[in-house]
Amino acid sequence: MKLHVPIRLRWSDLDAYGHVNNAEMLRLLEEARIIAFWVNDDTGSTAVGASTAVLDGRPGAATLTLIGRQEIEYLAPIPYLRDPIDVRLWIGKLGGASLDVCYEVWSPAGNGEEKLYARANTTIVLVDAASERPRRINDVERAAWTPYLDAPIVFARR
């Protein structure tokens, strides 16, 4: 099962080439990931919650989500678009204290012909904020995330 997270571009995501910048792309994926996994914002509001959103993301929360690695293939440049792009997100691997989040970045949903802009993978490590050491994925998290476990991305350009 894949989660569809609509992400709005900003004009400032473009660089001087007139396309969404390569580094900025990872910022869009970061936002999709935060919406998908964090249950709340700094105020505790759960406005955009998905069933995968079981981590407390507020300042001072017990768990930090650190990034261990990322890999991304850029398939087509993205221009400034007003309709939100369609980030499809699933879990390629559920480890002991880490998970691999997979993404496909698609053109805005419902706008005719679909275009795949990019494919990416992020390894997230759950870290205990107090000890600063990795901590195991717990049962609540595993139950929430298992339905989104699917085949990992096969990168074509390695």
Q: How far is the CB of 116 from a second copy (least distance, A)?
A: 14
CB neighbours (10 Å) of residue 132?
9
Closer to a second copy by CB, 16 or 151: give it: 16
Closer to a second copy by CB, 10 or 136: give it: 10
Q: How far is the CB of 156 from a second copy (least distance, A)?
A: 9
Angle, CA of 39, 51 and 1, to the nearest 5°: 135
Handedness of CA 65, 68, 74, 78 (dihedral sign): positive
Which residue reads 């989104």 in tokens?
148
Q: How far is the CB of 139 from a second copy (least distance, A)?
A: 26
Please give the residue ranges that form the binding site for a second copy (CB under 8 A): 8, 10-12, 14-18, 21-27, 29-31, 34-35, 40-43, 45-48, 57, 59, 64, 66-74, 77, 79-83, 111, 123, 155, 157-158
Q: How far is the CB of 48 from a second copy (least distance, A)?
A: 5
Separation of alpha carbons 20 and 109, rounded Å? 18
Closer to a second copy by CB, 24 or 128: give it: 24
Closer to a second copy by CB, 66 or 116: give it: 66
137 contacts 94 by C-beta, under 8 angstroms: yes
Name the E strands within 55-108. Answer: 63-74, 85-94, 98-106
